[in-house]
């Protein structure tokens, strides 16, 4: 008797861990840094955020002290994030879906393309 068995495989294969810094811009207004990208923040507790219309890029300027217009950086074991929904809404650039990008340096800013 010939049978055609389908294997029980509920667990998917783990993807390899990211070995490069990645910043994700999410539809909920969060800017999320993976563990490697978090190192670029140099343990700064705050940041200023800017937008470049021509380059369609967001820039984060890490700060050691709070500024009236700064955003707090929240650190976690797997990275960090900044809640920046007001920033995205102000420039009307809130992404419809998550956008992942490799960060780049532009002067003192950490940049990420939208």
Cβ-contact 101, 22 below 8 angstroms: yes
Per the structure, the complete domain to which residue 97 belongs is given by: 23-113
Token representation of residue 49: 């955020």
Whole-Å CA distances, 47 to 16, 19, 44 = 31, 25, 7
The total number of residues shown for the chain amounts to 114
Distance CA 82, CA 14 (A): 28
In a domain, 44, yes or no: yes
Cβ-contact 46, 63 below 8 angstroms: yes
Q: What is the pLDDT of residue 6?
A: 73
Q: What is the pLDDT of residue 15?
A: 62
Encode pLDDT of 31-69 as tens digits: 999 999 999 999 999 999 999 999 999 999 999 999 999
In a domain, 9, yes or no: no
How many domains does the structure of the chain reveal?
A: 1
In a domain, 6, yes or no: no
């Amino acid at each position: 008797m010939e049978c055609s068995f389908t294997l029980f495989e509920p667990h998917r294969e783990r993807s390899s861990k990211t070995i490069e810094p990645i910043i994700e811009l999410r539809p909920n207004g969060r800017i999320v840094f993976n563990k490697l990208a978090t190192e670029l923040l140099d343990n700064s507790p705050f940041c200023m955020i800017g937008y470049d219309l021509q380059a369609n890029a967001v820039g984060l300027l890490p700060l050691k002290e709070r500024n009236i217009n700064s955003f707090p950086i929240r650190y976690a074991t797997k990275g960090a994030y900044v809640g920046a929904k007001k920033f995205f809404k102000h420039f009307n650039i809130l992404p419809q879906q998550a956008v992942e990008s490799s960060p780049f340096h532009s002067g003192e800013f950490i940049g990420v393309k939208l």
